[in-house]
Every structure is written in C-alpha cells, then in structure tokens.
Amino acid sequence: MILLLDTHVFLWWDSGHAALPAHVKVLIADAANRVLVSAGSIWEIAIKRRLGKLAFDGSPAAAITANDFEELPVLPLDAEVAGELVWPHADPFDRLLVAQARRLSATLVTADAVVRDHGSVALLWAG
C-alpha cells in the first residue's frame, strides 16, 4: 500500500501526538507500506512556521528521513491537476495532495473533513 500523509498526519506522527489513531499508526509503521510525504507539506510547514502559526523544531525535510518515509517531489503535472480540480476547496496544499494521491493511486491519510468529502481518492481516515 502507498500512503501519502497529509501535513497534519505527518506532524502528529513525528511528534508522537495522541490524536493519531492506533490503526493508522500500525499502517504507517508497517514496513510493507510505502509512506510518502509531499514536498508540498514541507512547504506548508515552512510557511506556517514563518508566520508563527506552527511550532516545529528542526528541519521537516530531515524529519522525513528520520522517520524512514519517502520524499515526494511536486511534478508539473501535479500542479496542473491540482489547479484544475473541480472542487471549491481553495487550500492549495490540500489540492496538491489530492492530485498527487490520484497520480500515484496512493491512499491519502488525513483527518481533514473537507478532503474526506472530495471523494476522488482513496482515504485512510485519521480523525
């Protein structure tokens, strides 16, 4: 299974936050699964940290490696599809993750109800 972590799920995993359900932790920890973190999530973390909306110590890119996850670059096709999604949700990071999950046939791991309601990708509910 290919799991693409939404930004908040990546943050919860990295910090050991109790909000992450046990069944999700099991799937993320399963070595048989590929666990991806988008460059878009790293960008989102960096922006929110700079704006004072998020406390994150260290390098989020280094945290991908430290957690044995895979970096997922943003391709031009991802940006194109994200921009063309017929979806009223304006958050560019969520749109990008949906586009990437579609391209890779990945399961998007999220606790974001707006993303859950999109319905065009496989989801693992982490809420």
Q: Encoding tokens for residue 121?
A: 């990708």
For the entire predicted model, the pTM comes to 0.95
Domain tally for the chain? Answer: 1
Instruction: Characterize 49-59 residue by residue with b for buried, 16 or more Cβ atoms within 10 angstroms of its Cβ, and e for exposed.
Output: eeeeebeeeee
Give the distance from CA 19 to its chain's centroid. 15
| Residue 51 belongs to domain spanning | 2-125
CA angle 125, 123, 5 (to 5 degrees): 80
Pairing label, strands 34-38, 70-72? parallel
User: In this structure, what CATH number is given to the domain that contains residue 16?
Assistant: 3.40.50.1010
Model pLDDT, residue 19: 93
Q: Encoding tokens for residue 6?
A: 């939404």
What is the pLDDT of the chain when averaged over all its residues?
A: 95
